[in-house]
Amino acid sequence: MIDGLHFVRAAATKSRPVRWYVYAWRGGPRIMVSDGPKKPNLTKDALAALAEAHEDRKPIQDNMLAAAIRQCRGRPGEILTMSPEWRRLAKSTRDTWGLSLDAIEDKWGELPIALWDDPRMITEVVKWRDSRAGTPRAADMGVTVLAWLLDWCKLRAKVRLNVAADVPAIYTGADRAEIIWLDEDIAAFKASELGRNTPRQQFIDILELACLTGFRRGDLCAVTFDEVTDHAIVREALKKSRGRRRRAVVPLIPETKLLIERLRTRHRKEGVNTLLVNSRGDPWAPVTMTTSFIDARSEANDGKGIFEPGNPKLGVPDRAKHLHDCRGTFVTKLCRTDMTNEEIARVVAWSSENVDRIRRTYVDDAAVVVALSQRINRSL
């Protein structure tokens, strides 16, 4: 494989398979698009486009925005070349934000940084956001990363203003607290995996552990048996909150204890002590876990995927369920204990209002329906 190429993998959707976008270099022009599960080799046309891109590549001047971006993020994989602010971000965040920095460099990299001190650039940022409205979450992420970058530039006296700081988001579905994996979703996912000629138990393990701990992706990959006590899983969460790492203490309910005992029986390589392992017995890498799980979710339910139904009359589309939505499922399990909303909120690092909404939607309302059904049946 040619050094310097930049590959971006887009997960499969209901209408297309896994798609690969190939760029001449990180932040460079796109030279190929390919569909398929494996990283593609370059075609003749792509090789010609690569050669042309390098011929046209211009040196980066110190006064360009691209120079600031590269000074901020450093060289890929070389921690010591990164700025302190970029290094402080979790690797998963650097990976995600890196895609937005690529888009920013592609759009404005050759512009002088001095232009960003002109308040009229606010209009340009809004135009850029709106031009990407077809993928609203990516559009909002781009503005968020641009605002962060301009703050980084302000600290180094490269700009005096941050014209992206107050640009509002356009994604209206950012709060997914009301979306959870229901019992029927979990059953459909398990049936799809166990119905294969070669069952993929590792994906069921991921889903079950997420629903029984509420862990985020990074913690799902990293949690070990050493962190399991008789009554809780105790670990320092990988994700920071307000600049500080939260010590996660997740109470063990009977279902979780049974799952952990099953996880002890999985094949794992010598020295591997993580609760979750892939098919080779290795710990999961966070990005690989996400993309693999998304593919499995999209293939589930006879290829229909697992979705939160929308409301066509109100213009609300169906939304694919994410691994992160398992946190809401865990909340419903805690709501069925004697824990208060405030106690549950501390466990999952949510607001008590979000917990209360989950409780009223999926626990209290369900209990009312069951009680009414029992009363009706008794009267018949």
- The CATH number linked to 348 is 1.10.443.10
Whether residue 152 is found in the same domain as residue 202: no
Whether residue 208 is found in the same domain as residue 333: yes
Whether residue 136 is found in the same domain as residue 239: no
∠ Cα 293 294 298 (to 5°): 115
Whether residue 169 is found in the same domain as residue 218: no
Whether residue 53 is found in the same domain as residue 66: no
Query: What are the tokens at 41?
Result: 């080799």
Run of H or E including 241? strand 232-241
Q: Do the beta carbons of residue 221 and residue 285 sit within 8 Å?
A: yes
Whether residue 196 is found in the same domain as residue 336: yes
Domain that holds residue 373: 183-379
C-alpha–C-alpha distance, residues 139 and 249, integer Å = 35
Domain count for the chain? 3
Q: Give the pLDDT mean for 305-315.
A: 78
Place of tokens 């069951």: 370
CATH of the domain at 94: 1.10.150
Residue 378 pLDDT more than 60? no
Residue 104 banded pLDDT, cuts 50, 70, 90? very high
C-alpha–C-alpha distance, residues 316 and 66, integer Å = 38
Whether residue 368 is found in the same domain as residue 336: yes
SS3 361: helix
Whether residue 71 is found in the same domain as residue 94: yes
SS3 88: helix
Choose the final residue of a domain: 40, 57, 74: 57
DSSP string, 154-186: HHTTS-S--TTTTPPP--TT---TT----HHHH
0.85 cut: is pTM over it? no
Write down the pLDDT at residue 372: 46
Choose the final residue of a domain: 37, 57, 77: 57
Whether residue 8 is found in the same domain as residue 87: no
Choose the final residue of a domain: 57, 74, 103: 57
C-alpha–C-alpha distance, residues 283 and 86, integer Å = 25
Residue 369 banded pLDDT, cuts 50, 70, 90? very low
Whether residue 102 is found in the same domain as residue 131: yes
Who wins on pLDDT, 181 or 60?
Answer: 181
Write down the pLDDT at residue 241: 52
Write down the pLDDT at residue 368: 45
Helices (H), the chain: 44-56, 65-73, 84-88, 91-108, 121-131, 136-155, 183-194, 201-213, 217-222, 254-263, 286-299, 326-335, 341-348, 352-358, 365-379
Whether residue 40 is found in the same domain as residue 73: no
Whether residue 225 is found in the same domain as residue 360: yes
